[in-house]
Structure 1
């Protein structure tokens, strides 16, 4: 008699599993967004500011231990002055590589224009800045991107050695 109970539950378990699989894949969207991230550390109105560092940071070849808070502009094109603004990248990056310039990125892309206005995408991961392409995880989102997951690929567009300012192309692939 004890073996009959699981057999009676089998159709219910199979129906629940099938319904769950259908609902998880049915309404899911995939979105690709290409935009430009502008990290301005120079001038009278920087968008990236170092807020902490370790004793070793000043002698480190990689800036190891530096903590930077950002509120960087996001634009449609690579020119900050003439490109359409899309929003802001707000968060932090930390110089986490002791032997290589590698940043730990933790930021929200906050959309303030266009069809994604009011939505965010959370990006987190390692950014080995001298690699041609760096991949970071999309770990969440809000608004249109609620329950987001995916990845972002970063490619340096320009980097000014004198000022430290950088423009980075981001291609974000999002499932939501």
Structure 2
């Protein structure tokens, strides 16, 4: 017995809406990759001179009044506390460039390369303006922190002639490489 064309059309529409609904449910349930939020406070230690210096001026400015054009390479320690003997969690490797005439006009571009048990070998790619206090953008990440985005609020805690401690309040979202059967990131 043949199905009348009108009934076949209704049947096709019903099956199509069921399939599309199931696909939407799968997409919303995040079965293979889900974002995880990370909120973490760390501390960058900048040492500008001496035997333990972790930044070096590589391009000197021809503008002595403003320093415009100066380029500094950095490999700052990122610590779990603002103390010289605190545990190193990561290194902030990159450059900062004097990109304007005001005191805080430093453009910073760096990779935060994590060490230790939690995110060993993973990175955040970071950029922004480095005033005394400010906000950097997290524009990417690798390994455990892949596809990262977010911000790092940085606040100068303590400054001496050769050394600064900068608090880094990290708020990031990333896609871990593995999730469990419920779509929850495996930690």
Does the TM-score normalized on the shorter chain lie above 0.5?
yes
The runs of 5 or more residues in structure 2 that have no matched partner are 1-12, 175-187
- Flag the 1:100–1:146 CA change in 2: closer, same or farther, 3 A: same
TM-score, length of structure 1 as denominator length: 0.80
Contact residue 86 and residue 114 of structure 1 kept, 8 A: no
Q: Deviations over 1:42-66 (max 9, x none)?
A: 112310001113311x222xx3211
Partner of residue 34 from structure 1, selected from 18, 36, 41: 41
Deviation at 1:14, TM superposition (A): 7.4
Paired residues in the alignment total 161
Q: Deviations over 1:87-111 (max 9, x none)?
A: 2110011111213422111111111
The runs of 5 or more residues in structure 1 that have no matched partner are 1-7
Q: Does 1:98 align with 2:101?
A: yes
Deviation at 1:28, TM superposition (A): 1.2
Q: Does 1:170 align with 2:168?
A: yes
Q: Does 1:86 align with 2:89?
A: yes
* Equivalent runs, 1:16-95 vs 2, <5 Å: 19-23=26-30, 27-56=34-63, 58-60=64-66, 63-80=67-84, 82-95=85-98
- Alpha-carbon distance between aligned partners in 1 of 2:20 and 2:106, rounded to the nearest angstrom: 46
Q: Which structure has the larger Rg?
A: 2
- Alpha-carbon distance between aligned partners in 1 of 2:93 and 2:138, rounded to the nearest angstrom: 14
Structure number with higher helix proportion: 1
TM-score, length of structure 2 as denominator length: 0.75
State the superposition RMSD in angstroms.
Answer: 2.5
Partner of residue 116 from structure 2, selected from 107, 113, 116: 113
